A and B are shown apart, each in its own frame.
Chain A
Amino acid sequence: MATQSQSQFFSSLKRYYSFYTGGFVAFIIIVAILEQMGVPNKVLGYIFLAATVLLYAGIGVMSRTADVSEYYVAGRRVPALFNGMATGADWMSAASFIGMAGTLYLSGYDGLAFVLGWTGGYCLVALLLAPYLRKFGQFTIPDFLGARYGGNIPRSIGVFAAILCSFTYVIAQIYGVGLITSRFTGLEFGVGVFAGLGGILVCSFLGGMRAVTWTQVAQYIILIVAYMIPVVWLSVKHTGNPVPQIAYGYVLEKVTEREKVLNDATTPDGAKEAEVRAIFKQRQEAAEGKLKALEAGGVSYLAEEKAKLVKAAEDLKANKDADPAAVAAADKAVADFPADAAAATVAWKKAAAGAKAKAAPIAAHAEPFAGPDEAARDKKRKNFLALVLCLMVGTAALPHILMRYYTTPSVSEARKSVFWSLFFIFLLYFTAPALAVLAKFDVYTLLVGSSFSELPSWVASWAAVDKTLMSVTDINKDGIVQLAEITIGGDLIVLATPEIAGLPYVITGLVAAGGLAAALSTADGLLLTIANALSHDVYYKMIDPHAPTTRRLAISKGLLLVVAVFAAYVTSLKPGDILFLVGAAFSLAASAFFPALALGVFWKRANKWGAILGMAGGLGTCMYYMYITYPFFGVNAPLWWDINPISGGIFGMTAGFVGVIVGSLLTAAPSKEIQDLVDHVRYPNLEGDIKTEAA
């Protein structure tokens, strides 16, 4: 293909991917026919997952390469449009595909922080970084830091930060891969993780960035088709309009009206809701009462309570006519009774908090920062805006995204490519809020008020799979479903939409394949970033600058394997909360990279010591804040200005900017060569220009 011109290359790419899309649609139709012929759902799930993973592997094999520039930056000839699609897939992770609509369903307006943050960040990428990094044109982000600030220290901090945030992020992705494979194939979670990992590796292992790029374009097409079909169908079902993004304004009005009815105890539906809430209120008070008694009575209270339960169970058993279900329940209550005071505190606190949430009236979907008083609302507003800023700046600092703009043929293509990236990301992100509202409408009007004896089939089937995703319990024993009796896990919304909309199982399989594509594509990009930071920045640039090409690539591939297996191992331990891991990766990247990168382009005076101080200070501040405030670490220090640990990047970024500025002003201005380098990246083309692009 080396002899092809860029425009020929572009048109043959368009042809390949049109064929590919057509082939994919044909494949869906064939699976749909198989379903009609009575092939069981589980087999359909296997077919979907196996076919897509094989496809990615096939692209990986076809794009194998032994050329350094092909391996690290796909030969720098990815057209803007295709780089945009690849960036879209690289960007949209399992959290965006599966989690986001659920977050919006559960938190309404406040969840839109993720929508805003994960799109608006591209303005910063386009205006402040992408074109300049492209002109610089080497292989990694630490490359830029190393060249702009000189010496190995800024590069090393960059390598450390790149690995830290990419690794945090990749764990969330592999977790998503494990979740999807285990749910749709019935494999165990740990096995699912390693099976998915195989799919990630065949691709990036053989062809590096080149294989990852062309696979990501294929994955984008699958994930966007998989996301759109069920939402369009649901929109037609509820509004008759096939454009959900326009139609859901009307549905949102209906949802808001319905919220008012359900919150108003004078209406028949509202009265039923109030009844259920009162029961939850009692449960909350009971749990709180037990907690108080435990504090006062200690271990002896715990023993007394347990004895009561044991006695109740024995009394029941003594009665010959006792209902066997009641006996089993009493035995279970004894078995589940917390073993010690610490376990009891945890269990009862959880019970009290759960019941308290259920006892509260329904939060209005469209109301920003709902709260009981001005102080609570203000706190929510502050955290909303802080999270938006951290996610945006983090977007403009995550190395696996910035790296993608090295792969375009020119500076002006890089600028256009950011536009295409955001456009393709936007397609999914402005659909997610519509999906959340449509699903909510379905639940509020069709599920609420239905009878427990004839629940919609999707409710029954998901409740059978996983109680944390969907459960309905008849709390007030009236045989009718009330909203407060439904518990929905966020991930359910996207996964169950095809069934809510009444679509055949083939679409559910398609959604699973889409979720897998989202998780795999992001994991690919992240693993490559980590392996490249180690092999290119540490080994080639710092340890052995004379290493031959074959050894550089061999080391890179070896490291990829080690990092991937290690990440899968960490994931199989199921650490922490996925949304927090993702948010933490953004805050960390924002603190470590953004100040040094942006000032490196826009402020010539920024120098080595400023960069060292700013990067280390920013990253250190952010890590320290997360460590002292995130409950997982057990320090639980008071928050600074009520900012949640996920937005710790606010403090990290501030420290980063102050560090770069103060450190630079206290030491000598950078050399003439470095100032020339800054001019070099600022102009797409200069006469008598220096050359930094690495081939």
Chain B
Amino acid sequence: MQLTEKHKQYWQKNLRMTGVLLAIWFVATFVIGWFARDLQSITILGFPFPFYMAAQGSLIIYVVIIWYYARAMGKLDREYGVHEGDE
């Protein structure tokens, strides 16, 4: 099994996307969590901002991250010809 340049490019793109999405995940979880007390005075939809994020906002971000990844990788698979046959 020999990988072509194109295959390597596919994997690099996958790694980059994974990295960016993990960075968003990290900020939504740990950075906001770390500064929760400092962000307490900001209000969003009637909630204090850190409470809103931990109870709802970050969760929505997680769902969107996974949705986006599934969609973008599906496209990338086809673009690089590594997609599976249709069932």
Q: A residues bordering B, Cβ < 8 Å?
A: 5-6, 109, 112, 115-116, 119-120, 122-123, 126-128, 131, 245-246, 249-250, 252-253, 366-369, 377, 381, 384-385, 388-389, 392, 409-412, 415-416, 418-419, 422-423, 426, 429-430, 433-434, 602, 676, 679-680, 682-686, 688-690
Q: Mark B27-49, 1 if CB is under 8 A from A, else 0.
A: 01110011011001000011110
Return chain B residues, CB-CB under 8 Å to A409. 87
By Cβ-Cβ distance, the 4 closest A-B pairs, closest first, are A249-B46, A368-B36, A415-B70, A112-B54
Complex CA–CA separation, A418 to B73 (angstroms) = 13
Contact of B36 among A381, A426, A429 (CB under 8 A): A381
> Is B67 a contact partner of A419 (Cβ separation < 8 A)?
yes
> Is A6 a contact partner of B3 (Cβ separation < 8 A)?
no
Return chain B residues, CB-CB under 8 Å to A366. 47-48, 51
> Is B51 a contact partner of A252 (Cβ separation < 8 A)?
yes
> Is A109 a contact partner of B82 (Cβ separation < 8 A)?
no
Q: B residues bordering A, Cβ < 8 Å?
A: 1-3, 7, 10-11, 14-15, 18, 21-22, 25, 28-30, 33-34, 36-37, 40, 45-48, 50-52, 54-56, 58-60, 62-63, 65-67, 69-70, 73-74, 77, 82-85, 87
> Is B66 a contact partner of A419 (Cβ separation < 8 A)?
yes
B84 to chain A, nearest CB (A): 5
Return chain B residues, CB-CB under 8 Å to A426. 59-60, 62-63
Please report whether the interface of chain B is mostly helix, strand, loop or mixed according to DSSP: helix
Once A423-B63, A679-B1, A685-B84 are accepted as A-B contacts, the answer to whether A127 and B70 lie under 8 Å apart by CB is: no
Complex CA–CA separation, A123 to B19 (angstroms) = 12
> Is A412 a contact partner of B74 (Cβ separation < 8 A)?
yes
Complex CA–CA separation, A128 to B70 (angstroms) = 12
A29 to chain B, nearest CB (A): 32
Return chain A residues, CB-CB under 8 Å to B18. 127-128
Complex CA–CA separation, A658 to B5 (angstroms) = 32
Between B7, B33, B34, B70, the greatest number of chain A beta carbons within 10 A of the residue's beta carbon is seen for B70
Complex CA–CA separation, A5 to B84 (angstroms) = 16
> Is B55 a contact partner of A112 (Cβ separation < 8 A)?
yes
Once A415-B70, A685-B84 are accepted as A-B contacts, the answer to whether A109 and B1 lie under 8 Å apart by CB is: no
> Is B63 a contact partner of A419 (Cβ separation < 8 A)?
yes
Once A415-B69, A429-B59 are accepted as A-B contacts, the answer to whether A123 and B83 lie under 8 Å apart by CB is: no
Given contacts A249-B45, A249-B46, A684-B77, 18 further A-B contacts (CB under 8 A): A5-B87, A109-B51, A119-B58, A120-B28, A122-B62, A123-B25, A127-B65, A246-B45, A249-B47, A381-B37, A384-B33, A389-B30, A419-B66, A422-B62, A426-B60, A426-B63, A685-B83, A690-B1
B13 to chain A, nearest CB (A): 12
> Is A433 a contact partner of B56 (Cβ separation < 8 A)?
yes
Complex CA–CA separation, A680 to B11 (angstroms) = 12
Residue of B nearest to A367 (CB): B40
> Is A6 a contact partner of B87 (Cβ separation < 8 A)?
yes
Once A109-B54, A128-B18 are accepted as A-B contacts, the answer to whether A680 and B45 lie under 8 Å apart by CB is: no
Contact of A377 among B1, B37, B67, B74 (CB under 8 A): B37
Return chain B residues, CB-CB under 8 Å to A120. 25, 28-29, 58-59, 62
Contact of B37 among A5, A128, A369, A684 (CB under 8 A): A369
Return chain B residues, CB-CB under 8 Å to A388. 29-30, 33
Return chain B residues, CB-CB under 8 Å to A684. 77, 82-84
> Is B46 a contact partner of A116 (Cβ separation < 8 A)?
no
